[in-house]
Structures are given as structure tokens and as C-alpha cells.
Structure 1
Amino acid sequence: MLVRADGVTKSFGPKELLKNISMQIDDNDRIGLVGPNGCGKTTFLKMITGDDVPDSGELVIKTNKIVYLSQFPSFDNDTTVEDALNVDSDEVQNKRMLELENIMASGELPRGADWNDISMEYARLQEEALRQNKSDAERALDHLKTFGIEDRVSGKMNELSGGERAKVMIAKVLSRAEKADLIILDEPTNHLDIDAVEWLEGYIADFKGAVLIVSHDRYFLDRTVTQILEIDGSKMKHYLGNYSQFVDKKALEIERQEKEFQRNSKERDRQAKIAEEQHRMQWFSSTHKTRMKMLERMEVTEAPDKKKDLTLDIDSADKSGKNVVMARKMRVMRGKKILFEDIEFDINRGDKIGLFGPNGSGKSSLVKALMGDIPFRGDLWIAPGAKIGYFEQGHDHLNPEMTSYEQIDDYLEGEARSRARSCLYRLQMTKKDAERPIKTLSGGERARLSLAMLLSMNLNFLVLDEPTNHLDIMARHAVETALAEYKGTFLVVSHDRYLLDSVCSKVAELKDGTFTMFNGSYSQFKGVRKGRDVVEEAEVYKVVSSFTEWNSRKKFSKGDRIVVAPSEKANYQWAIDNGKLKRIPGKERKIITK
């Protein structure tokens, strides 16, 4: 056992953020922590790392070998990449060195101690710290080489893109991971390109310790975790399985609660009517009182929590012509660097295109060139009937001094204003938040405002640059559903593989100056079978006697070892029932394509 919480409660002012939470993290666990924005996920992580404390309850931490990737790492504007990569020595080691420094500074020798021993211990700890820091720095640099940004080490952090800063912080955290029992990652895929995310998935799969991940990236969770902890309404629930299995179990749980609530309500109504009838027919008797006491003693089943309806509708303007965009020999530069040249593509009416590629490949620059915001060379034709809406990643079009409601009234007219306000509600922005200045809003809240305004306009061609960044899972699902049902045309730039698989009829990769268009989903483009890879906690079996698994037509011999995931156990059940397979101790993680 590494971490155990028992009855942990945490409040901020009158708001009870976490209530009576219990959970446990064991060696080698793979846990995903999910829940809506603001539910207390980051607060819970900070309590595990010792940066915060619970108001009540018991939180037991059995290891000091924990590394933590914060969602919002802080550093000064003048911090160099090299300084940001410097890794502190072990906390216990630092604490002992500080104690020895205080002893030497005070000149007071503790009873039974010797000055020579103290100086020798201090010198040894200094040498170990120097050796450890050098080793960690070398590992961090190796990770930067993997990400392809080792040439940025001499630069400053504020000169890097969001994706490059994320890679630096991940490199720093993972450089300490070899000595860690537990890695905690808070939104590790934010700003990362797909190649970096897939590399991180492989790293986590090979890591020998435990991992606790907060993420809104469902594709990433499916490939990395085997348990889900959900925080909802200040309570925490535990589910075995990856994220997709959690969704299925959650849906069944809500359905069961709804049926139980209806059954309980119906029975209570029946008992109340019997008591009322008894009182009316036998007003002189106290029989009905007995029935009322029975009703009072009946257990009251709570209705399942009713979430806001996050269904979004996008109005589409009249259809444009068959050809919406035609690009020929396009070339875009950033300073003196050519991002891409001689690329050609067509976007036709009804196309739903997902654009992806490494950070810095020029995806956002291509979009800005389409919108006329930056210069380019080549030919670009956009249909005169195209009514374009642009979702900008940085939300620079928002006035930071206005409130959300003021921005809507300033930006939109007529019915679009009321549609935008309704959309804000459906994206879970409260009236209180909508009346705050935009400069005080989080990145996710600004994204909600931008989306609400865009989706309320009468458009037939949407250009979206990372529309799901900073959104929680429910809001992402709402946006995906709306885009899937949208009657117009869109081009969406995204690193969200779930989005690229679920709503796009075509995908395009921009990499190393080359633009490649593909009819199909991201997974199909990558050569993956239709469906998604998920990780499952599998059981291990030994073959007692030879048999053939007829679904795969694979033959197994006596003594073979088989790892069987829950989703494929039915294929082996007859062999288990007939004694051809024997369960042996231990579990392993297995990637399954669904």
C-alpha cells in the first residue's frame, strides 16, 4: 500500500469540495481520476503530495518517492530551459543536509555526536546530491531528444510554445521516475502533439511503479489505466476497468438507480393511498396510523443525479457550392523558416476534416492563412457562399474587460444572443461566472464562451483550432455530438484522437512540410483496426492440456502461459470450465483493440 484515504473531507469556505472520501493506491496500480472541472481533482492530488491537508479524515502516505506533474507549472519569465530541468535532490536527503548545516552554524554539537562524523556525512550527502542531479539532468535531456527539442535547452521557457513547455516539464518529471514508487500526472496531454502522447503512453505501460492520472483525454485513459476513481458531487466512487468500461458501468448504474427509484416511489405512493383510503372509510379507527408508520419506516431511495442536458445544436446556413476551398502550391513561412510549401488540397461541401501533426508543423499557421490573418504564397480560393466561423485557440478576439454576457451582446445580434446564452448554460457555465470579467476566467471557461458564440451563429463552414482543449469530458462529448450532427462543413485542428475518430470523415496530417489527406478516421489512417486500443487488467493462466481457441484458431500446448483480459475471457471460458486452463497468481496489463 502506497496511499490510503479514509473519510477525507475538504472544504473551501461554505463549499464542501470533497466529502468522506476513501480510496487506496497499491504498488503498480494504474488509476485514472475523473470528474467535471472544479470538482476537486487537483486539490486531492495536492493532499497526496503534501501541498494541502484534509480538514478531517485520515490520509496515510507510505512513501516519499512520489513525482508530480502539475497542470500549471510555474516559473519566472527569465527561467532558462536548463534551469527548469534542474531536478532537486531527494527531499529526505535535503532535510538531513539542512539539519547538518544548522548544527555546524550553531556550533552546538548534539550529545554523542562527533564533529568529524558530521562533516564527513555532510560531504557525502553533497556528493550524492551532485551525482544524482547530474544523472537526472542527463535523463531529462534524453527525453528532450526523444521529443525533438533538445536544441531549445539554451533558450528561455517563455520563448517556448505551450507544447514545448509541456514537454520540458514532462522530461523533468520523468527524469526522476526511475526512483519513484508513484507518478502523479495532472492533465499530462494538454498541449502535447499526438506523437508525444503516444510516446508517453508507452512509457507509462513500461513503468514499474504506480500511476495516478487526471485527464480529460479518453483515448489516453483507455490506453493507460485499469481503474477509475470518479469524483462527482463531492463523493468518490471506484470502478475497475479502463475509461470505456467505466462509462458502460456508470450507465448501467444510473439505469439501475432510476428503476429502483421508480419502484420505491411507486410503492410509497401505494402505501400512502391505502392509508388515505383507510382513514376515509374507517375514520373512527386508528388503523391508518399503523399504515402511516409503516410508510415512515420505508427506506427512501434517492433519484440518480440529473445532469444538465449537454446536447448542443449548431445552426447551419444555406449550403455553399460544391467546392468550399481549393488550395494550390501554398507556402507559409515563420520568420525565415519555411513551415510548408507546395501543398495542395480541396475541401468540399459536407467534408468533416480533422487536421493533426507535431507541434510546430504549421497547423495553426495554415488555418490563419485560410482566414487571411497571415501572408502566404500560392493560390487559395474560398467559395463566395461560404459563411465562415473561426474558433481561435488563444481566444484573442475576446475583450478581457467585458463579462461573458456583455461579450455575447457586443458580438452577436438578435436570436443568436439568446442561443449563445443557452449554449453557455449547456456547457455548464453558471450565471455567476458569466457575469465575471473575462480576464478572471480560466482557459476552459473562455473556450466555453468562444464555442457558445460560434455555435450560435448561422454558418456553413467552421474552422476550429483545438476546440476541446481545457474542456472536461462532458463538455467534450457535447461538442463532439454537435459536430457529428452538423449539416455544414468543418476543418478542425486537434490532438484529440477521440474527436478525430468520432466526428471526422477525413483526416489530414501536416508533418515535415508534407500535407497528407486520408478518407477515414485517425485510427484507420494509422493502420489500426477499426476501434480503439484499451488496456485491461488481465488474469494469467497455465495450459494444463492442449487445446485450440477457435475464434483466433490459435493452438496452445501443455505448459503454455496465457494472459486473458476480461473482454476476451468468454473465448476461453469453455477451456477453463473443462480444466484445460489453470489460473496462476498474478495479474498483467494487456492492450486490447475494440
Structure 2
Amino acid sequence: MTEPVPVTYSYCITEEGDRSVEDQIGNGHVYIVRHGRFPFRGPNSFHVGTVARRLRGLAMAQRIFHHYTLQFSRVSFSYDGSSPVFSDVSFSLGPGWSGVVGANGSGKSTLLALAARILQPNSGTVSGPSDRFVCAQPTEKAPDRIEDFFNAFDERSIDLMRRLELEFEWLYRWQTLSDGERKRVQIAVALWLAPDLLALDEPTNHIDADAKDLVLDAIARYDGIGLLVSHDREFLDSVCARCVFLRAGTATVRPGGITAGLEQAGREKIAAERALDDARRRTASLESETVNRREIARSQQRRRSKAGLAIKDHDARFKRNLARYTGKDGTGGKLLRQLDGRLAAAHAELDTKEAEAAAARSGDPSGVSLSGTTSRADSIFRLGAGEILIGDRVVRCPELSVSRRDRVVLLGPNGSGKTTLIKRIAATLPEPKAETPFVRGTVVFLPQELDAAERRSVRAWLDSLPNADRAVVFSGVHRLGSDPERLLESPFPSPGEARKTIIASAELVNSTMLVLDEPTNHLDLPSIILLEAALAAFEGAVLFTSHDERFVETVAAGGARWILEPTPDGSVLTVL
């Protein structure tokens, strides 16, 4: 009996028409049932559930199975003749959430577009459900079906509004919603449509921990094929059954969330290096043995040769003829030919192992150095107790200070005043120079978002640097996973490239402190992991905000926590 394949959709497939479900079960026909199994034949090989629809024929059952599998078969793709994004990629994904992870430019959004048939591969095939939907990253525009969703008042829309804590009046004030509120509406509409394939691009961007929990609860109930692009490791670990790792035009599917996938990738890398070392040892041993055997063969050939023998030395000639006839002194040549074959096979194996090890190592940035310096002063900045106005709301703060090698994280829900407080702190520092607005004395300040003018100033600052200093910054940008050449292709860099440039600049200014507002925004997962390590080694102080729980736990380990708690008229800051 064929092993049943897990599925999640409700169908009844039969070859005998519209007979009762009980009769069909008794006769061992084929069923797909909600949260059940897909047996090809045989009684008692399935879990009985709610049958939503009936279709006829085993062939139809086979087609439905493929319908609920996303399959990439030898897919290659590039944009307008540029370098390939994917080369001969093959994998298949079933129902459940699959994380899609990789560095910036590795093809995450391209993979979503190929899966949703928005893009077509240059070669190969992509097969899967025809009912598909992509929930894109930008939130400037309201979803196309937003009015249908809010006015549906059906069971699913009501449940989603409750789970994601949406308010009906949000339908009429999209422009005044926060990015986090817009993202929750986006996701609600996508889940309400209930496509067979749903792709979410960075669903946790700009949302706080409470909102992330709401989103996690909602998408965990989706039972189709889900593709999830995210740099949030906690989120990926919580919801994903597998992850697709993209690197250097390839795609590798590993089971479990991002943590399990990275651990397996590490094991694969170690195994590839060990296999390469073994192949090198075997090849070296065979090369040494081949040299020895070649010398033995030459010696035996000399002993078998009649060259140098007197033409009337019949006794010596007879002995050498006898050696040739019996094979004596001829084994060296035979063994040498065998060794040549084994050596050729060893060289071929070595080439394969070198390619596998190189693939396991490829794209591994070496990490950015942020050495910085420890401030001589006890306190780098001090902000007196008081109130900060945010519109008609008030943030009440005790006296705040950061000294030398402090690690301080500022936490609080969206709208509680984190960014406003960070800007107020930055205002207490020395005024920046016009050409370097992100450097205040010896403090590097990274705002939450950089507008076009600020990104142009980053490019202008780069252009003004001496070649040696520019090389230091380019090295840091490269080690954070971006191509420095791309910085020179546009009047202003992308948000991610600009943020990496500002972070890398800390190495030039001998910074005593980093003030970072959501430093993981627009960074890919490999870059975030590298940034964690760099901040841990930084000699100065670090003050930052972040919704990335893993990032907070790593960077602020043993440090202080400033927590903004909402009040009826604003929020109050507590120092822990």
C-alpha cells in the first residue's frame, strides 16, 4: 500500500459516483479529508473528516495531489540577460509554511513571483495551485479587496478581525494608519481570500511584539502552501515546517525553522570540509604510490630488456624471455596501469568534493569589524528627567544616561514614543557636520528610516572620502553582505545599502557610541547575524531599539532595558 501523503484540503474522490461517504469508505476508495491523509487505495488507510466536495476518478485524485504541491523543476531565471538569479533549481513544497531565507539579492522576492506565476522562468517549469496570492512588503497602498473584506461580515472575516484586532473604521482612514496596522490589514485580507498558495513578504516589518503575536496566531491557522520571507528568526522558528535557503543561484530545502536549518547547514559545511580533506589525503596517497610504482615498473622494464646483452649470450637471453613468458618482473606495469585508473578516479572525486565544499562556503561573509573605542568620560550623554510631547500625548522619563561600554535597549509598543525619545537623545549630542549628518562627534546615529535626501548624503560622504578610507567602508559593506559596486551605480543607495554604509562608518570615526533605531530594518538575515557579532565586540556603548527578539537578547545580554509603557495620555519610561 502506498504511504498516505499529508494534505489539508477537503475533498472526496470516488470512482463510483455520488454514493454515500460511508459506502465509499467501506469500499476503500480514495479520499482527501480536512486535516487528514491522502491514501491512494485501501480501507482504513485514511482519517475520516469533513468532506466538502466530490470529484470522480483516481486520475483526478492524482491531479489534486500535484495541485497541492509547489514544484520547481530545473528552473533558471535572470532579468533581461543579467546574471542568473537561479540556475537549474529543483525542489518541491507541500502544505504548511516554508520560510524563504537568503542575503539581499539572493532572489527571495523573485522566488515568490515565480511561485505565483507573476514571473515566468527562462527555462524549466513551475507547477502548483492556480489559486495563489502574494502579500507584498510595501504598505503604502491599501489591498485591492479591502472593502470586500471589511464588508463581508462572514465567519472568516469576523474571526480575522478579532484575532488581528482590526477596527472597522480603519477602512476609511488608511492614510492615517501606522505601518504595523496596515500590515495587519494586508495579512487579514490575504488570509480571508484563502488562496491555495499564499506568499508573505516580510509580514513582521514595522510591527511590535504584541502585533507579531497576533499575526503569528492568524497565519498559523492557514492550511494551504505558504511561503514566508522574513528576517525574524523567532517568527520563522515558530511557524515554519521547513526553510528554503537561497545562495549563489541555488535553493536548498532543509526541515524545521531557521535555527534548525542553519544548524544543518553548519553540519553540511563541516561534512563537506571533512570529505574534501579525506579526498585530498586519498589522492596524495595514490600519487605517492603511483610515483613508487612507476619507478618499480621502470626497474622491471630494464631487467626484462635485452638491450646491452651480447648477441651470443644465449643463457641471459633465455632467462629474460622466460621472465616475459611467465610474467615475472611484469607485475609492476600492470599495477601501475591499475593505479593510474584509481588516481584518475580520485582526482575526479577530489574535483567534486572541492566543488561541494566551495558551494557550502560560498557567500559566507567574513563579518564586519566595529572596534570603536571606549569613552574616557564616565557618561557619554545625560538627559534630565522630564516630559516629551508627541502631538497631544506625553512621554514621561526619569533621568537617563549611558556610559562607556553600556548596552541599552529601548522597548515599547508601536506609538509609545521610542523613535521620538531616540531623536531627543541624539539632539543632546554634538551637532553633525553637513556632509555627515549621521555622525555626531564620536557617536554614530542610525535613524529608523532614511529618506532619499539622507541616502544621497550617504553617497556624497562616500565620494568625499580618501581612497583608503572608502576602501575601509566598502570592506564593511561587503562583509555585511552587499556588493560595494552597487553603491556606485546610483545617485543614492538602497535603504539597506545606506544603513550598512552608516554602520560600517563607525570603524572610520573611532566611535565611542552607536545609537541605532531599528538597526535590522532592511537588513537580510545573514547581515543581522553578522551585525550581532560586530556589536558584541564593539568597544564603545550601544543604545538601540528593535522588535527582533533574538537580536535584543543577543546584543543587550546583561545590559539595561528602558521600557515605555502606555498610559491614558501617553507613556512612561521605566529603567530596568
TM-score of the aligned structures, taking structure 2 as reference length:
0.70
Q: Could you say if the C-alpha distance between residues 229 and 146 of structure 1 is closer, same or farther in structure 2, counting changes exceeding 3 Å? A: closer
* Gap runs ≥5 in structure 1: 76-80, 89-131, 375-384, 520-594
Tell me the CA shift for residue 289 of structure 1: 5.2
Indicate if the aligned counterparts of 1:463 and 1:491 stay in contact, CA closer than 8 A. yes
SS in 1 for 2:384: strand
SS in 2 for 1:206: coil
Q: 1:445 aligns with which of 471, 493, 497?
A: 497
The CA deviation string for residues 119-176 of structure 1, in whole angstroms up to 9 with x for no partner, is xxxxxxxxxxxxx96347993896399456765543353x554434333322332332
Indicate if the aligned counterparts of 2:133 and 2:195 stay in contact, CA closer than 8 A. yes
The CA deviation string for residues 391-418 of structure 1, in whole angstroms up to 9 with x for no partner, is 12223596655784x53253x6796544
Instruction: Tell me the equivalent position of 2:446.
Output: 391
Instruction: Tell me the equivalent position of 1:250.
Output: 265
Instruction: Tell me the equivalent position of 1:362.
Output: 417
Instruction: Tell me the equivalent position of 1:58.
Output: 125
Tell me the CA shift for residue 248 of structure 1: 1.4
Q: 1:330 aligns with which of 362, 374, 386?
A: 386
Describe how 1:10-49 pairs up with structure 2 within 5 A. Answer: 10-12=76-78, 13-27=81-95, 29-49=96-116
CA distance in 2, matches of 1:150, 1:452: 45
Q: Could you say if the C-alpha distance between residues 358 and 140 of structure 1 is closer, same or farther in structure 2, counting changes exceeding 3 Å? A: farther
Report the more deviating stretch, 30-39 or 248-257. Answer: 30-39
Q: 2:488 aligns with which of 415, 435, 447?
A: 435
Q: Could you say if the C-alpha distance between residues 263 and 67 of structure 1 is closer, same or farther in structure 2, counting changes exceeding 3 Å? A: same
Q: 1:166 aligns with which of 183, 188, 201?
A: 183
CA distance in 1, matches of 2:182, 2:88: 37
Instruction: Tell me the equivalent position of 2:319.
Output: none
CA distance in 2, matches of 1:343, 1:150: 38
The structure that is strand-richer by fraction is 1
Indicate if the aligned counterparts of 1:350 and 1:489 stay in contact, CA closer than 8 A. yes
Describe how 1:74-473 pairs up with structure 2 within 5 A. Answer: 75=141, 85-87=146-148, 134-135=152-153, 139=157, 143=161, 146-147=164-165, 152-157=170-175, 160-176=177-193, 179-279=194-294, 282-283=297-298, 288=336, 290-298=338-346, 299-300=349-350, 301-302=353-354, 303-305=357-359, 306=361, 307-334=363-390, 336-372=391-427, 387-396=442-451, 400=455, 404=459, 407-410=461-464, 416-439=469-492, 441-473=493-525
- RMSD over equivalenced CA pairs, Å: 3.3
Q: For residue 475 of structure 1, what is the amino acid of its counterpart?
A: S
Q: For residue 419 of structure 2, what is the amino acid of its counterpart?
A: S
Instruction: Tell me the equivalent position of 1:96.
Output: none
Indicate if the aligned counterparts of 1:416 and 1:457 stay in contact, CA closer than 8 A. no
Instruction: Tell me the equivalent position of 1:514.
Output: 571
Tell me the CA shift for residue 215 of structure 1: 1.0
Tell me the CA shift for residue 9 of structure 1: 1.3
Indicate if the aligned counterparts of 2:367 and 2:534 stay in contact, CA closer than 8 A. yes
Determine which structure has more spread, i.e. the larger CA radius of gyration.
Answer: 2
Instruction: Tell me the equivalent position of 1:491.
Output: 543
Indicate if the aligned counterparts of 1:328 and 1:343 stay in contact, CA closer than 8 A. yes
Q: Report the count of equivalent residues.
A: 452
CA distance in 1, matches of 2:107, 2:172: 37
Q: Could you say if the C-alpha distance between residues 344 and 154 of structure 1 is closer, same or farther in structure 2, counting changes exceeding 3 Å? A: farther
* Gap runs ≥5 in structure 2: 1-64, 302-332, 430-439
Q: For residue 291 of structure 1, what is the amino acid of its counterpart?
A: L
Q: Could you say if the C-alpha distance between residues 432 and 87 of structure 1 is closer, same or farther in structure 2, counting changes exceeding 3 Å? A: farther
Tell me the CA shift for residue 435 of structure 1: 1.7
SS in 2 for 1:458: coil
CA distance in 2, matches of 1:343, 1:82: 42
Tell me the CA shift for residue 11 of structure 1: 2.1
CA distance in 2, matches of 1:369, 1:30: 41
CA distance in 1, matches of 2:507, 2:518: 15
CA distance in 2, matches of 1:71, 1:253: 32
Note if 1:477 corresponds to 2:545. Answer: no
CA distance in 2, matches of 1:490, 1:235: 37
Q: Could you say if the C-alpha distance between residues 518 and 208 of structure 1 is closer, same or farther in structure 2, counting changes exceeding 3 Å? A: farther
